[in-house]
Amino acid sequence: MSQNQLIVALDVENLEAANKLVTMLSDTVKWFKIGKQLFTAVGPASVKLLHESKKNIFLDLKFHDIPNTVAGAVASATKIGANIINIHASGGLEMMRVAAEVAEKQASELDIPMPILLGVTLLTSIDEENFHRDFGTQRKLADQVAYLAELSQKAGLDGVVASPLEIELIRKVCGDDFVIVTPGVRPAWAASNDQQRVMTPAEAIAAGADYIVVGRPITASDSPPEAARTILQEIHA
Ligand code: C5P
């Protein structure tokens, strides 16, 4: 695990709070994730803040709409300089295919690096029981994750967002040349909050995650820099 594999989720409500965390974590963290809360509140100003701080950006807006609308959103996300963009794989093959095409076209027209495009399989807050109940299916959760990961790959995406518990399965289906980003990561000393399918950061990296996303165990801790450093040390150990 290097600093390059830790992505901190900036799930905060305004730019001041984001700036405070980014400044505090400046020496420890290279990647930040902007999600729906911050982006809905302040928009591209949040991306600009991270650019100015020379940080990499995961724009976690989990697009899910008709192909034409998602294509427009992915083009905009590429244009403002997101380094990772994600899309719900359950939006379908066509939607993901168009997204991959448009990102490539936009990046080459603007002569900027191609963003990493990820499919979201199943949210890590969903467990087997909720999956059966809420999706009205008896299909195994793992089968659904494997299916959506394969579909993402077929559509030309670079990887998926998935629970750490599914890394082994996804590697089996999609191979090593496929990016796996895992939220649902909890150090042994942190609360699990609403995450159901969790592993520790060290376990997730050992299992083959390319990046781990950690939010509240760092951002809600008394000392975010210390929490981030502890996580990096635990992984090295
Ligand atoms: O605070 P916590 O560590 O639970 O934050 C995890 C972050 O990862 C949140 O921003 C959440 O939206 C995001 N995420 C997730 N599960 C996914 C995709 C993204 O928890 N499948």
Predicted local distance difference test score (pLDDT) of residue 2: 64
The residue whose CA is least distant from atom 17 of ligand 1 is 123
Cβ atoms of 49 and 15 closer than 8 Å: yes
Q: Is-contact 111 88, C-beta < 8 A? A: no
- Higher-scoring residue by pLDDT: 3, 15: 15
pLDDT at residue 191, as a whole number: 85
For residue 170, name the pLDDT band (cuts at 50, 70, 90).
Answer: very high
DSSP-assigned states of every residue in 74-134: HHHHHHTT-SEEEEEGGG-HHHHHHHHHHHHHHHHHHT-PPPEEEEE-S-TT--HHHHHHH
Q: How confident is the model at residue 235 (pLDDT cuts 50, 70, 90)?
A: confident
Taking the CA of residue 35 as reference, the ligand 1 atom at the shortest distance is 10
Residues with CB under 6 A from ligand 1: 9, 11, 35, 60, 120, 123-124, 161, 183-184, 193, 195, 213-216
- pLDDT tens figures, 177-202: 999 999 989 998 988 888 776 899 99
- Residues 133, 134, 136, 139: is their CA dihedral positive or negative? negative
Domain residue ranges of the chain, discontinuous segments joined by +: 2-236
Rounded distance from Cα 37 to ligand 1 centre (Å): 12
Collapsing DSSP states into helix, strand and coil, what is residue 168? helix
- Whether the per-residue pLDDT at 1 is higher than 70: the answer is no
**Residue 113 CA to ligand 1 centre (angstroms):** 25
Tell me whether residue 62 is one of the annotated catalytic residues.
yes
Q: How far is the CA of 58 from the centre of ligand 1 (A)?
A: 12
Q: What's at 154, amino acid-wise? A: K
Rounded mean pLDDT of 78-91? 98
2-236: CATH homologous superfamily? Aldolase class I (3.20.20.70)
pLDDT tens for each residue of 141-161? 999 999 999 999 999 999 999
